[in-house]
Amino acid sequence: MPRPSVTVEELSADMSSLYGLQVSDIKNLPCYDDATFLFTANGSDRLIAKYYNTSFTKKYVLKNILEVLSHLHSFNVPKPVPCLNGALLTEISNSKSRTGCKTESYLILYTYIAGEVLSFQKKPPKFWKKLGQLLAEMNQSMSKVKCDRYERDFPWNPLTVHTTLSEDRHYFPSKLLPSVDMQAVINTSLRFHEILQDCPKQFIHGDVNEYNVIVGKDGEIGIIDFNDLIYCYRVFDVAHCIGYMMEAQKCDIHVSAYFMRCHGDMGTYCSTFRHELCLRF
């Protein structure tokens, strides 16, 4: 199914009929599979309307995201805004897309996290300590969320690492593949898989990168974009975040220590961190 095709007129009509809001200053935000808008509501509040593509995002996944966000209500994360009838998620039928097909989508309205993305900023060590502590506290809160639909083994198979590397052209360009010792990568993955067996699983953000960390004018840190929420090993969230920060932000390796001290279990995090860097670089 094509990306939801939503016009400004349709957005205005949805906000009026479903939420009782009058919108202005509408801005269409870039998004891979969904239609996302930033706008001003009733002349004051800024909100984000997200029309999720039903082909890529299942309804139960969105319900899990909403459940997790309800547990994170005390953190600086997007808050779902209820419709006039109290619902947080609404099924929408939009106008025809460029392919001529009528598109279906799930609509959720969120509060807007003001600030600048971390990608355009350089920060001192105390900032990384603060971010590490925030991520640890968020993971602690998310660990309390249970959902049977997600209570399953993480479908990662170390024997398919070579296939993953070959197919992921964004993170691992094909021109670099000939220089990679695939058997060494597989052996490392197998040892890593053994380490993970005793690690706790829970819901994690799954994509805490430099574009999903927002820094406000007062220094408050916000985390956005929970679309990659997944139920898997807790250590992945911090290791994944450290990998991003060292790659994109060119952070000193001591940044990893700030994060791991906040989360505990240093040995497991060190092993996960090494494997993350191996796959990323």
pLDDT bracket for residue 198 (50, 70, 90): confident
Predicted local distance difference test score (pLDDT) of residue 237: 83
Predicted local distance difference test score (pLDDT) of residue 44: 87
For residues 199 and 238, the answer to whether their CB atoms sit within 8 Å is: no
Mean predicted confidence (pLDDT) in 270-275: 58
Predicted local distance difference test score (pLDDT) of residue 86: 97
Q: What is the mean pLDDT of the chain?
A: 80
Mean predicted confidence (pLDDT) in 53-74: 91
Of 97 and 87, the structure prediction assigns the larger pLDDT to 87
Where do we find the tokens 């574009």?
211
Of 200 and 154, the structure prediction assigns the larger pLDDT to 200
Predicted local distance difference test score (pLDDT) of residue 93: 79
For residues 192 and 158, the answer to whether their CB atoms sit within 8 Å is: yes
Of 69 and 99, the structure prediction assigns the larger pLDDT to 69
DSSP assignment, residue 50?
A: E
